Structure 1
Amino acid sequence: MSELSQLSPQPLWDIFAEICAIPHPSHHEEALARHILSWAQEKGLFAERDAIGNILIRKPASVGLENLKPVALQAHLDMVPQKNNDTPHDFTKDPIQPWIDGEWVKARGTTLGADNGIGMASALAVLADDSVEHGPLEVLLTMTEETGMDGAFGLQPNWLQAEILINTDSEEEGEIYMGCAGGIDFTSTLKLEREALPTGFQTVKLTIKGLRGGHSGADIHMGLANANKLLARFLFAQARPLDLRLLDISGGTLRNAIPREAFATLALAADKRVALQEAVQAYLATLKNEASPLDKNLTVLVENIESNAHPLKNGCRDRFLSLLNSMPNGVIRNSDVMKGVVETSLNIGVVTFDEHQASINCLIRSLVDSGKDYVVEMLTSLGELAGATTTPKGGYPGWQPDANSPVMALVRDTYQKLFNKMPNIQVIHAGLECGLFKKPYPQMDMVSIGPTITGPHSPDEQVHIASVGLYWQLLTALLKAIPAK
């Protein structure tokens, strides 16, 4: 039994505990998918998968509600795998360890997977709980949303029967989402030129860590520090004065998570070691003065290590550092139409070296296609100046808001009746799958709701317990209030 069993609504939390027990990071959702399919079939529900692996489960309407419009509850199967550096955890083998901390459920040293595991659990709990009244119901669980929306891209027309889709991937109780940003991946690749290490040089590892990190869309407006950018800033300033030879860089692990850590392997003359340490301490003091209170645990370290790698030639080093240091990051533009909402942003998510090339992987988001195009052109220009190869790929559309959406109005009115206050109607800067669903199902009316989740895509992820109860009240009341066909 999980300690989550003491929480209410119990069916939802019990199912979420089961989800946590089965590893399901992006590209490794198969075990969880098979478990859910078997679970549905044991309950006598119609359940099948499409060619890409998406799951569709159908449950007949409650007695007397057969004439309601059919509804699909939708969530994605995968979770973002992020862990603290000192946490031993293999996301492909080890279960998530949820625990209760006062008003919140957290995980021990890793992402929790409440994004989108709570939404998935709520949809399955509706299937499991015959006391929940609803019309004809479908549950759609999509594959590999976090790294490319594979399931949404592969969704075929004429599979779903629903006229209304309720996406459960939002992360703020009391807010109703009726639109979202689109996105596109962008990679800059620079060929590396290496040379022998000069005699008398020693190697060190420079580490930036302790940053909060977070969701590259929903948290991008918070001004959180990006470890890749902090590392580039220091190295650009100090590489020439200290004659630092660059052997290796790695930073971030996912293009849709704000990087919390970045590392550089450097070589320098022995008589420059003290100067490097002094520069690091001065830089840390500067960052502490500038940093958001949310990044109060920021640390910059330098330590001696052994390495047999060859450093970059200085000209190649300078081109790479100039490129990374000059690339924009964070909010590019706020929306003029939706006050308080980011229109266009960029996250420099992953930086890697191998023997022959460096790669910088970014995720661009925008509410408008022209915003994505502008950032693509900006990054392409910078790449050309540095002699890098640039590749935009995997673009997906935003979800255009519909101010006349009947289901949005229904959710708003239902929320007001339940809680005696008006919810906020929002457009989210994160990427929801609804925009892609509109292609095979252009007439489907869609809305997105969810409980309060903070720190998604980071080990600080947590879900507010009371908000899950409020979300469940709203979801179950909404299903009963769906209008007739």
Structure 2
Amino acid sequence: MQSILQNFKNLSQIPHCSYETEELKKFLSAYAREKGFKVSIDKAGNIHCIKGNPKICLQSHYDMVCMGNAPKIELYEEEGFLKAKNSSLGADNGMGVAIMMKMMNEFNHLECLFTNDEEVGLIGAKNLEHRLKSKMLLNLDHEDEKDIIIGCAGGVDIKAILPFECEKKFGELYELEAVNFKGGHSGIDIVKNSKNSIKEMAKFIKENQGLVVFFEGGERINSIPKHAKALVHFKNKPKENQWIKCQFLEEKEFNFCKQSKLLLNVINAFAQGIRSYNLNLNIVQSSINLSLLRMHDEKITIELFARANFLEDLKELEFQTLEFFQAFDFKVQSYNFYPPWEGKNNALSDEVFKILSQIIPNPKISAIHAGLECGIIEKNQKILCCSIGPNIYNPHSTNERCELASVEKISQVVFEVLKNHQ
């Protein structure tokens, strides 16, 4: 366990936000060569490592969602959890990488695949050029120790853009700031019905009859918005609440957005969160997150991320969302579409289930309402896949934490699986 923790600490000191992974790519490549692996890197930055005659490939992505102070990460332990001060932790998926590094030091027959830029649309997996030698792939990007995942949601990014004009007006200006929002993973945490800072801000402005001068919010396309801020004119001073902090600035002439009412109507009318729930799998089946709002260069840009565990649901959600924004005269586009992984029990998932049952009571084979690269890899290379991982709470947020005892359990499972195939 200590070697895994040290591996993770080493990783955390190397910047590896999505799109900015060059340093970590060099580090992992050098580490693999030092352990006797043959290493190759494709154009997408995926690192393929192979030693001996492997039967199983381990896979994790090495980019992270950077929130708060990240990539500057200051680790600390508290009540059995690993956390980071004022930043995302990067246990998603750095802890999987750290476990893989330990196994690379333990086994002579092993294949490892470190994929790049997963958090921004599974870019590495979509553009994977390496052909795997193994017929089975164990992904380490799950966040609940009791689950063996054989299916995941597909996703699509949606962007809506509206040009806006400004008009001069004289009056009182107020600065608004969203506070006390938790944020979180837009797939895993969507079931918690966490408040969306952009929607709460729009509601506050509308209820207090404000005119928008400036409004922006959100952090990442795949995160529930935690932050938002706005510059607004109110005729009467609004009363701040637990979600919106309000401060009077000055009385002056200003340029307000002539499409202010339309913007607020769109945001307030949009249905954020869960759209359908699967009672058989006991997971969210489809959802959509209003992720980002920007006002720049006389354009209002809204970005959203839709997820669904069945292909027809994803296509329907994409269609509905595009139609919704087009009805308000936004120019719309969708991109980074990837289909769901509707997997089935296989020899690998059955083997992992048997081993996991000896370590964790009542494990289950299930699916997840989030994207996993192994779903793409399985389809493209016709191999058997499943996913496991330690307990990680509130990923994609500054509240992210990883249970250390759970890391030890999952690493034991990985060790036993690999030992059976040496």
Tell me if TM exceeds 0.5: yes
In structure 1, the residue matched to 2:342 is 400
Aligned to 2:355: 414
Which residue of the other structure, out of 213, 216, 233, is the alignment partner of 2:183?
Answer: 213
How far the C-alpha of 1:35 sits from its partner, in A, is 1.1
| Equivalent residue for 1:470, pick from 397, 409, 417 | 409
Unpaired runs of 5+ in structure 2? none
For the residue of structure 2 that corresponds to 1:258, the secondary structure is: coil
C-alpha deviation, 1:257, in angstroms: 0.7
Name the structure 1 match of 2:377: 437
Q: Distance in 1 between matches of 2:290 and 2:183?
A: 12
Once the 2 structures are TM-superposed, how far is the Cα of residue 319 of structure 1 from its aligned partner?
A: 1.3
SS in 2 for 1:36: helix
Contact 1:169 1:449 in 2 (8 A): yes
Q: How does 1:100-111 map to 2 (within 5 A)?
A: 100-111=77-88
Q: Percent identity?
A: 28
1:168–1:448 contact (8 Å) kept in structure 2: yes
- What is the aligned partner in structure 2 of residue 455 from structure 1? 394
Q: Give CA-to-partner distance per residue, 1:36-63, whole Å, 9 cap, x none.
A: 11222233321120121110111225xx
1:44 aligned partner: 36
Determine the structure 1 residue equivalent to 2:18: 26
Q: For 1:112 and 1:152, locate their aligned partners in 2 and report how far apart those are by CA, in whole Å.
A: 23
Q: Within 2, Cα distance between the matches of 1:72 and 1:36?
A: 16
Look up the equivalent residue of 2:61 and give its one-letter code. H
User: TM-score, normalised to structure 1's length?
Assistant: 0.84
Partner of residue 65, structure 1: none
User: In the TM superposition, what are the counterparts of 1:262-281 in structure 2 within 5 Å?
Assistant: 262-269=228-235, 272-273=236-237, 276-277=238-239, 280=240
Mapping 1:120-269, distance limit 5 Å: 120-128=97-105, 130=106, 133=107, 136-156=109-129, 159-196=131-168, 198-199=169-170, 201-239=171-209, 244-269=210-235
Does the CA contact (< 8 Å) of 2:154 and 2:307 recur in 1? yes
Structure 1 unpaired stretches of 5+: 1-8, 62-68, 84-88, 285-297
- Which whole-Å CA distance do the structure 2 matches of 1:22 and 1:246 have between them? 40
SS at match of 1:219: helix
Aligned-residue Cα RMSD (Å) equals: 1.7
Offset at residue 195 of structure 1 (A): 1.0
1:459 Cα deviation after fit = 0.5
CA distance in 2: counterparts of 1:27 and 1:254, whole angstroms:
13
Shift of 1:309: 5.9
Shift of 1:371: 1.3
The question of whether the paired residues in 2 share the 8 Å contact of 1:210 and 1:261 is answered with no
Q: Larger strand proportion, structure 1 or 2?
A: 2
Query: Does residue 302 of the first structure (1) align with residue 294 of the second (2)?
Result: no
| Contact kept in structure 2, 1:412 and 1:422, CA below 8 Å | no
CA distance in 2, matches of 1:308, 1:462: 46
- Give yes or no for contact 2:183–2:194 (8 Å, CA) kept in 1: yes
Kept in 1, the 8 Å contact 2:176–2:232? The answer is yes
Give the CA deviation at 1:396: 0.8
2:166 is paired with a residue of what secondary structure? coil
- Note if contact 2:204-2:244 (Cα within 8 Å) is conserved in structure 1: no
Residue identity opposite 1:41 in structure 2: R
Letter in 1 for 2:204: F
Match of 2:45 among 32, 53, 66: 53
Residue pair 1:249, 1:262 contacting (<8 A) in 2 also = yes
Change (3 A) 1:382 1:48: same
In the alignment, the residues of structure 1 paired with residue 29 and residue 137 of structure 2 have an alpha-carbon distance, to the nearest angstrom, of 21
Shift in CA distance, 77/302, structure 1 to aligned 2, threshold 3 Å:
same
2:158 partner letter:
F
After superposition, the C-alpha distances for 1:378-424 in whole angstroms (9 at most, x for unaligned) are: 22222122111111111012111213x110110111122345x3311
Please list the CA deviations of residues 406-465 of structure 1 after superposition, one character each: whole Å capped at 9, or x if unmatched. 10110111122345x331111000111122113420x20001000000010010100001
Which residues in structure 2 correspond to 1:367-386 (within 5 Å)? Answer: 367-386=309-328
Instruction: State the 1:21 CA deviation.
Output: 0.6
Question: Helix, strand or coil for the counterpart of 2:207?
Answer: helix
Give the Cα separation in 1 of the matches to 2:316 and 2:11: 40
Instruction: String of CA shifts for 1:301-353, please: whole Å, max 9, x gaps.
Output: 1113369862112xx11111111111111110001442x21100001111111
1:220 is paired with a residue whose SS is helix
1:386 aligned counterpart, secondary structure: coil
Deviation at 1:115, TM superposition (A): 0.3
